Structure 1
Amino acid sequence: MSKSTLEMTHDEWLLDRRRGIGGSDVSTILGLNKWKSAYQLWLEKTGQVELDHTNSEPAYWGNVLEEVVAKEFQERTGLKVRRRNQVFEHPLHPFLRANIDRDVVGEKAILECKTANQYLAKEWEGDEIPISYLCQVQHYMNVMNYDHAYIAVLIGGQKFIWKRIERDQKLIDMITERLVEFWETNIIEGVEPPIDGSKAASDFLNERYSEEGKEEVRLPESFDELIRYRDEMKESEKIIKEEIAQLENRIKSEMGKRDAVIGITPKYVITWKSVSSNRLNKKLLTEKYPEAANDPGIYQISISKRMTIKEIG
């Protein structure tokens, strides 16, 4: 089953995405997306936050270069691809959706077009494919009932790679189980997913609740246990950090004794050298340019909310 996207405006397309789980949602639900947490996705799908109608710079250029990547794939492989301006739905779970980049003519296969910056080149070396993209195309093969997929990527605007991916039914079953659970439990039943400790979740909460609160509230007793567990974790973190520092100091001590800048073991190369960084010397600035140092206009003020916890009594 499918529906056309040709007549949809961008806003209508965004709203339609709330009605199911698409390929770009898969990595978020599986906890593989460092930019968004499952909690954020739940808020979006349940209409509790406004949809972001703006495209990020990487997303914009990804859309612009999609046609370039598809054409280059045809040139290098001799295969033909075509657009399918439709949203496809899984026959048993219609909320599982696929909005594919291209269909491969004459094969039960899709082509997914990607762009990546040069710093991510290692993620594509050899047979490697970023796990989030692998799960995305397996999800598409599941929805479309396809045998295999191709993924093509333009890295840093100057290196082109394409790879064939076979259907992995075991992985598909694992992914589908988690997606169905998320939709039926969190979306249909409205159960709030747990907030994880990712940077994406932290940044989102700080942005969403950036305004100062006004109330003093009583939290349930369960939060006492949560805070005790947090304190235990922080104590463990302190011990681990000290142990890491001890191990690193042993390495530094040995290299220092040998006047070494590079140390080589059978498996590792260690460098211990100076790194320079520029920092504003506030004391010198005040001495030489007191008027400028006291000008509040040169300081950029940033306000953030800080959580502190103190034991009562």
Structure 2
Amino acid sequence: MGKAERLQPRATGHRTRSHLRGASRLPRPKCRSSPGNSRDARRRSARRRARSGSAVIEIIHPADRAAWLAARQQDVTASVAAAVLGAHPYTTPYGLWAEKTGRLDPDAEETEAMERGNLLEPVAVTMVRKRHPDWTVIYKDDRAYYRDTERRIGATPDAFVEIPGRPGRGNMQIKTASEAAFRDFWQDPDTGDIIPPTWIAVQAITEAKLTGCAYAMVAVVVVTWRGNLRLHVVDVPLHEKLWIRLTAEVGRFWALVDSGGEPDVDWNRDGQVVLEVYQNSYLDRRDMSADHDLDVLVGKYKSLKEAEAQAKKQAEVLKPQIIYALGNSEAGYTAGWEITARTQQREAYEVRSSTMRPLRIKPRKAENATNF
């Protein structure tokens, strides 16, 4: 069993510049080590229980990615914590509920964006060390998972940093972004200041709080359209009020889960999640005849689908007329439109198996229909 590491503050003396002001300087929690005795992933885990007020922090060193995903399943993790505040661009409260209650399997597959981030993480560390040779960057890439066992909040910090002249140790969250995404979501269009998106700031703050760090920062590597890499390091203030609000919302989330309730569905964002949650049907015919609003909604859906089918038929008649006018030219124009129709080759591919529920609607027979 590995020895649990102790995060001790070092005397440091440098303060990074950032347009973000008012970063809190909080005392670090006192730590004590305790041996681990659980199975599977935790068998190889070094554990530390740190008390910061009433919080008990446990560190788990999972054996592999599967064990790491299993450890995260029991908590609201830093990467999606902003969802409980309604401030996450990809995860909603309902989506988080579906995942944490086992109704939706967490995506264990590595996306292209995740792969880019994982591959460039050590590159980012190297860039920080090169540009700040006086900083001590602690980077282990061991998926160490920190969790508040009472609040059920967890995090996997990327790296820690110790800066001369700056008291304590800092948490350094590492991100990557394309040049376009960085311009659209990180840079203020008027001042050019670099402002981390809210959900990333919440992630960095959560990691700092769980690891007992005195400050937090984000190191973002921007991949330019030429393929070059640019590094930006930005401080993230540890706003105490935000942390208090976040922990309160996480508490309400778990209380809702424990009570058997569920968050409201955001129909503009949660549609695909709902379809995945209810992807499997069973032999049953539900009576929903008393729901007048649903009856209206079903009628509206049917009308829209019929209009969509009709529009598709009309478009299929118009397309060959436009191609006929173009002939073999790949581009052309009219008085009001630019037209392109370049030849493209599509390679053969296999479609992965999937589960779906085709929705078919037809009017009820008059003798069975309910009049409203």
Relative to the length of structure 2, the TM-score reads 0.57
1:76 deviates by 1.8
Within 1, Cα distance between the matches of 2:130 and 2:151?
35
* Aligned pairs (5 A) from 1:289-304: none
* Aligned pairs (5 A) from 1:186-197: 186=257, 188-197=258-267
After TM superposition, the structure 1 stretch with the greater mean CA deviation from structure 2, 201-210 or 53-62, is 201-210
1:61 deviates by 1.6
Within 1, Cα distance between the matches of 2:338 and 2:250?
46
Aligned-residue identity in percent: 19
1:53 deviates by 2.3
C-alpha RMSD over aligned residues:
3.5
1:225 deviates by 4.9
Match of 1:113 among 160, 170, 174: 174
- Deviation track 1:28-82 (CA, whole Å, cap 9, x = no partner) reads 3333334333223222212233343211111112111111112212222332211
| Residues 1:135 and 2:191 aligned together | no
Task: For 1:170, give the aligned amino acid.
Answer: K
| Residues 1:124 and 2:211 aligned together | no
Task: For 1:174, give the aligned amino acid.
Answer: R
For 2:274, the equivalent position in structure 1 comes to 205
Within 1, Cα distance between the matches of 2:241 and 2:283?
51
For 1:80, the equivalent position in structure 2 comes to 136
SS in 2 for 1:112: strand
Contact 1:98 1:143 in 2 (8 A): yes
For structure 2, the residue ranges without an aligned partner over 5 or more in a row are 1-56, 188-192, 302-335, 364-368
* Distance change in 2, residues 1:191/1:151 (3 Å): same
Match of 1:216 among 256, 279, 285: 285
More helix by share: 1
For structure 1, the residue ranges without an aligned partner over 5 or more in a row are 235-272, 281-296
1:207 deviates by 4.4
- Deviation track 1:89-115 (CA, whole Å, cap 9, x = no partner) reads 337x34112210011136331000001
1:130 deviates by 1.1
Contact 1:31 1:37 in 2 (8 A): yes
* Distance change in 2, residues 1:152/1:203 (3 Å): same
Task: For 2:274, give the aligned amino acid.
Answer: L
Within 1, Cα distance between the matches of 2:72 and 2:97?
12
Contact 2:205 2:238 in 1 (8 A): yes
SS in 2 for 1:204: helix
Within 1, Cα distance between the matches of 2:91 and 2:342?
33
For 2:231, the equivalent position in structure 1 comes to 160
Contact 1:111 1:151 in 2 (8 A): yes
SS in 1 for 2:234: strand
1:208 deviates by 4.8
Within 1, Cα distance between the matches of 2:182 and 2:338?
25
SS in 1 for 2:76: coil
* Distance change in 2, residues 1:35/1:76 (3 Å): same
SS in 2 for 1:111: strand
SS in 2 for 1:178: helix
SS in 2 for 1:48: coil
Contact 2:175 2:218 in 1 (8 A): yes
Within 2, Cα distance between the matches of 1:37 and 1:220?
31
1:146 deviates by 2.9
* Distance change in 2, residues 1:274/1:161 (3 Å): farther
| Residues 1:64 and 2:119 aligned together | yes
Within 2, Cα distance between the matches of 1:68 and 1:55?
19
1:14 deviates by 0.9
